[in-house]
A and B are shown apart, each in its own frame.
Chain A
Amino acid sequence: MKNKQIFLTIFSVLLGLVVGGIALAVSGYNPLEAYGIMIEGVFSRPRYISWTFIRSVPIILTGLSVAFAFRTGLFNIGAEGQYIVGAATAALAGYFLELPAGIHAVVVIIIAMVAAGVWGGIAGLLKSKFGVHEVISTIMLNWIALYLNNYIVFWDKFRRPQSEASQKILETAQISILGGLRTSGNEFIRGIFSTPVNLGIAFAVLAALFVWYTLNKTTLGYELRAVGYNRDASEYGGINVNRSIVISMVISGALAGLGGATQVLGVTKEISVLAAMEGNGFDGIAVALLGNTTPLGSVLAGLLFGGLKYGGPKIQPALGAPSEVIDIMIGSIVFFTAMPNFIKVIAHKLKKKRGEAE
């Protein structure tokens, strides 16, 4: 059962790579060369590996957010907006609060998660109280979050003059790790830490553990899953369905918000005007789906997509090949994961062929 799932996932990824390769080949680029560049672009230097992790963290967290909601029967398209709210709140709290180093970061993360949790919770509340489908409410909330972000950036007390960005967060709120290692004698370590590598990846792993533990080992998880699968039976069993929906969206939102917060505290140190959705939430959906909505799956899928997103664009300066092939690949991978039946048919055909050949 489990092995089968893993097989299907790996097969989907391979098919996605094949589709991407075909797209490159048809447009006159050597797919092998392109993939070579991507792989080199991710693995050839310690620094690149760091960057891949940095790129993965936000989408792992939004992926966990989406996966968590999914497991409780909710489709959170709003991870995008919750991420934005988390980021914006983190930037505000990182700049305006004055607290000792370390404590500051912790407080900021908590505030950001609460804010994003509330943002997710709104969708939960709308669903439980008014029956508004979460897909539509979260789409609306995404846009509201985007404009809210821009509003915050443009707030005169917060906007950094001469820019479309906010003030930088204070040093005390940053979560970069081991700055000293940047000047380490060991080249590998120096490479790894020459990037804004930060505690984000640790948070992502912790979040994955949290999701796994909560869903599978706690009564809360039991309640949330029960409600996700069958509201009527849960109600009958004495579970407060409305409360569960809200809690689930709050947790989901907080996870996405953590993504936004780590990005601000660890990488960008600021927020800036968003002209359009950055897509972290949508990538999170892809991550969650490829990861079969499991925590471990989301981490792995997040790393894969993070690698694609970091290493992929390198084919552009190197080959002049359109880096959008990455989106085509991600789309294909998600497409194939959507239809396990297709893969079963192919696998069956292959098996049969092999059988005939023997």
Chain B
Amino acid sequence: MNNADYSQKVIEMKNITKKFGSFKALDGVNLTLHKGEVHALLGENGAGKTTLMNVLYGLYAANEGEVYVKGEKLTSANPSIAIEKGVGMVHQHFMLVEPFTVVENIMLGTESVKGLGVLDSESAKEKAEEIMEKYGLKVKLDEKVEDISVGMQQRVEIIKALYRGADIIIFDEPTAVLTPQEIEDFIKIVEELTHQGKSIIIITHKLREIKAMADNCTIIRRGKYIDTVKVSEVSEEELAGKMVGREVNFDVEKKEKEAGEVVLKLENLTVKDNRNIEKVRGLSLELRRGEILGIAGVDGNGQSQLIEGMTGLRKIESGKVILNGVDITNRSPKEIIGAGLSNIPEDRQKRGLVMDFKISENMILENYNKEPFSKKGKLNKKAISDFANTLIAKFDVRPANEEAYAKELSGGNQQKVIIAREVTNNPDVLIAAQPTRGLDVGAIEFVHKSLVEQRDQDKAVLLISFELDEVLNVSDRIAVIYDGKIVGIVNPKDTDEKELGYMMAGGGVHDEE
């Protein structure tokens, strides 16, 4: 972004080592940040990026190594000290108190008071308004955080940091949950921040964003420092190679294939959300055998309700779901699964797994009451563990121990368990909702391969993703969802992100009413 002033080091982390028990999450990592610089931090899942930043922010105390902020050594680990020194952090999972208003969140921890500890929201609002003005960040201060969009929530986080006078801001995977439009806005905000002399550290798995935003990039692998490179001098492939220590194939390998007969038909579906608002509004769609149909769309346009409606988790108000010619509208989840519809759920920890169950128990979640896993209500332990072991081997789940609990697995391996289970159900239609969210490139590769395999076996796959890249690379056809309806179906070969983004934002849609 070229606002960097290399004569001023604002952060120096030297030889940082951090242990959790006997496990070394960080092992001698270095990082230097200059004034006005945007510095990317790259590494696989679990490489230690977040841990490193938590050390910087004072949430963890390092076992070894030193941290200097603007030349001063930090002597103890405590967020208040970091805050005082001008370090702000926007966490991967937003650190916002949902039932609080925006302004309450902004001032929390550095509240203005009138005396006797009585809150003075007015002066906090004034101060926040000033910041919003200066950096072009607009949010409604009196709304509750739980009622605003994710993009807005991120702005709140940024304002929070600035409110505390931060001039060094750490972003942990800031774009993972944003829409393309919001990502663009975010890049502009970063630009504006560095322009005003702020320094930025950004963690992201998206190499393109690194290229777009960062001046330099530090790469760590399994807690070890690998390299720091000038972003303008390396390609995306080189970055990825450094990150995983081998070559990475970005393209999804996919043979040409003719789609077959229609297997799933959605007719005029209407589904409401928890607040009783119609989120899916007269949606129709056809899915054929042997194709991957991608659904592109900005979060909140009815994707979740659509999936829940189809899978029997939410009532369909009107319309029909027809699978293999059978009407499965508003059947119970059990019946729908039985009819041949499987689902890799959006939220793997909430819906996909029972975290306190063993891998083996999770593997039979939909089939525990079928033979051979049980007979007349009695579980067959041997059949279950044999089954689990087969899948563990086939899908390379680590650790390869059916007795391990789901909560002990890493995100990528949790996803593998789900995919193994759903694919083994041998469904006619597989719904994959955000199947690669939060996964690193290696894991993503695996997931995409699995989806394509399904397609090649003449199954139908419905891929729902906010990642345009993914939708474009993996799908055979792309349907764009906007405001609860399909607003267009395009061929990935004949389109690009720009057009999709336009459609996803409702461009070209004219409401009938």
Contact = CB atoms under 8 A, between A and B. Distances in A.
Interface of A: 216-223, 225-226, 229-230, 232-240
B354 A219 contact: no
A233 B418 CA distance: 11
14 contacts: A217-B378, A218-B374, A219-B374, A222-B361, A222-B368, A226-B357, A229-B354, A229-B355, A230-B350, A232-B347, A232-B351, A235-B313, A236-B313, A237-B333
A173 to B, nearest CB: 32
A218 B377 contact: yes
Given A217-B378, A233-B354, A235-B333, 7 more contacts: A218-B374, A229-B354, A229-B355, A233-B351, A236-B311, A237-B333, A237-B365
The 4 closest A-B pairs by CB, nearest first: A238-B334, A237-B365, A229-B356, A238-B333
Contacts of B379: 216-219, 221-222
Interface of B: 311, 313, 332-334, 337, 343, 345, 347, 350-357, 361, 365-366, 368-369, 374, 377-379, 381
B337 A220 contact: no
Contact of A230 (B332, B355, B377): B355
A92 to B, nearest CB: 33
A220 B374 CA distance: 11
A240 B332 CA distance: 9
Nearest to B308: A236
B365 A233 contact: yes
A42 B89 CA distance: 62
Contact of B353 (A218, A221, A230, A239): A230
Contacts of A221: 379
Contacts of B353: 230, 233
B354 A238 contact: no
Centre residue among B354, B365, B374, B378 by max chain A CB count within 10 A? B354
Contacts of A229: 354-357
Given A229-B357, A233-B365, A236-B345, A219 B378 contact: yes
Given A230-B350, A237-B366, A218 B345 contact: no
Centre residue among B313, B345, B351, B366 by max chain A CB count within 10 A? B351
A232 B378 CA distance: 24
Nearest to B351: A236
Contacts of A238: 332-334, 337, 366
Contact of A233 (B350, B368, B369, B378): B350
B377 A236 contact: no
Contacts of A237: 333, 365-366, 368
Contacts of A220: 377
Contacts of B378: 217-219
B354 A234 contact: yes
A218 B373 CA distance: 10
A217 B381 CA distance: 8
Contacts of B366: 237-238
Nearest to A220: B377
Nearest to A238: B334
Nearest to B356: A229
B224 to A, nearest CB: 30
Nearest to B373: A219
Contacts of B351: 232-233, 235-236
A301 B381 CA distance: 29
B129 to A, nearest CB: 40
B354 A230 contact: yes
Nearest to A236: B351
A97 B351 CA distance: 50
A218 B378 CA distance: 4
A239 B365 CA distance: 9
Nearest to B338: A238
B375 to A, nearest CB: 9
A225 B354 CA distance: 9
Contacts of B313: 235-236
A225 B351 CA distance: 15
A219 B357 contact: no
Contacts of B374: 218-219, 222
Contact of A226 (B333, B347, B365): B365
A221 B378 CA distance: 9
Contacts of A234: 354
A243 to B, nearest CB: 11
A344 to B, nearest CB: 12
B365 to A, nearest CB: 4
Nearest to B311: A236
A219 B345 contact: no
A69 to B, nearest CB: 16
A219 B377 contact: yes
A142 B366 CA distance: 37
B434 to A, nearest CB: 15
A235 B336 CA distance: 12
A115 to B, nearest CB: 25
Nearest to A240: B332
Contacts of A222: 361, 368, 374, 379
B301 to A, nearest CB: 22
Nearest to A234: B354
